[in-house]
Amino acid sequence: MLAKSLSLPLAGLLLSVLLTGCVTTGLPERQEVNLDQAVKTHVQLGLRYLQTGENRDLARYHFNKALELGKRNPDAHHGLAMLYQVDGELDVAEEHFRKALRYGDDFSMAQTNYGVFLYRQGRYEDALEQFEKASSDLTYNRRSYALTNYGRAAVQLGKTEEAERAFTRALALNENLPQPLLELAEMKYEAGAYAQAKQYLDRYSEKHRQVPQSLWLGIRIEKIFGNRDKERSYALALRNLYPYSAEALEYKKMMANDG
């Protein structure tokens, strides 16, 4: 998403500029460094180090430096939240997520990432709330992903109708998103709407790599329609690509029962 990391010499130059509070341009006059730009630069450097994974300590340094210059900067708190999440320091990560949302107005990206953080801990109701807030922001450029995550949390809570609406809305914004296609295919299969399930799965298969869930669903759908060749094709791919998956085990159980 962001450009490649700045080289270390350039990063060091930027830091020396920011620490001294002024920059020499080669011209006679000296220009004061804008404080907001200094904070922004530290945040950007922190994000680059974090996203490349090359040096989390430097990422931590830059986020903390940004907070020294502006302790209520939501982007810096968001960066630290993501960093501490990677470090496994979940309590500290949540503290920074909360501060990012407290200091940032309509911070949809932070809401989405905080929702994912909560989802991974099984806190589905709390996650749903964050995804709902993010997906209601009509200016958010990743709104389709917030809707997808809303749908996934709703599935976990047994809110099937809400989940289906969220996945459908996500596809209206981005018709090729893999997760909504696969989730809707699964939901239609469970509801007995096999033709619709196959349509969603076929759309998924046209654009995206097969995963255990899609292959296992394909086996079951083609079995319903009596398409033995396609069923065997899905089964072969599942056995070869994901022999130790839970779905492969389910397929073996099905074959044993059929035999």
Over 90: is that where the pLDDT of 17 sits?
A: no
Higher per-residue confidence, 24 vs 206: 206
**Which residues in the chain are classed under CATH 1.25.40.10?**
1-12+33-103, 177-259
- Report residue 259's pLDDT band, with 50, 70 and 90 as the boundaries: low
Please write the tens of the pLDDT for every residue from 72-108: 999 999 999 999 999 999 999 999 999 999 999 889 9
Over 60: is that where the pLDDT of 59 sits?
A: yes
Over 70: is that where the pLDDT of 9 sits?
A: no
Higher per-residue confidence, 211 vs 55: 211
Predicted pLDDT of residue 256: 87
Place of tokens 């010499």: 9
Region of poorest pLDDT, from 22-26, 113-117, 127-131, 156-160 = 22-26
- 118-174 CATH fold: 1.25.40
Over 80: is that where the pLDDT of 257 sits?
A: yes
Q: Which pairs with CB-CB distance under 8 Å and at least 24 residues apart come from 99-103?
A: 99/72, 99/74, 100/74, 100/75, 101/74, 102/74, 103/72, 103/73, 103/74, 103/77
Over 60: is that where the pLDDT of 3 sits?
A: no
DSSP of 119-155: HHTT-HHHHHHHHHHHHT-TT-TTHHHHHHHHHHHHH
CATH superfamily of 177-259: Tetratricopeptide repeat domain (1.25.40.10)
For the beta carbon of residue 9, count every other beta carbon within 10 angstroms.
8
How does 101-118 read in b/e, with b if 16+ C-beta sit within 10 Å?
Answer: bebbeebbbbbbbbbbbb
Residues 222 and 202: their CA atoms lie apart, in Å, by: 11
For the beta carbon of residue 227, count every other beta carbon within 10 angstroms.
15
Domain 1-12+33-103: which CATH number of 1.25.40.10, 1.10.3720.10, 1.10.10.10, 1.10.1200.10: 1.25.40.10
The pTM (predicted TM-score) of the whole model is 0.81
Share the mean pLDDT of the chain: 88
Arithmetic mean of pLDDT, 13-27? 31
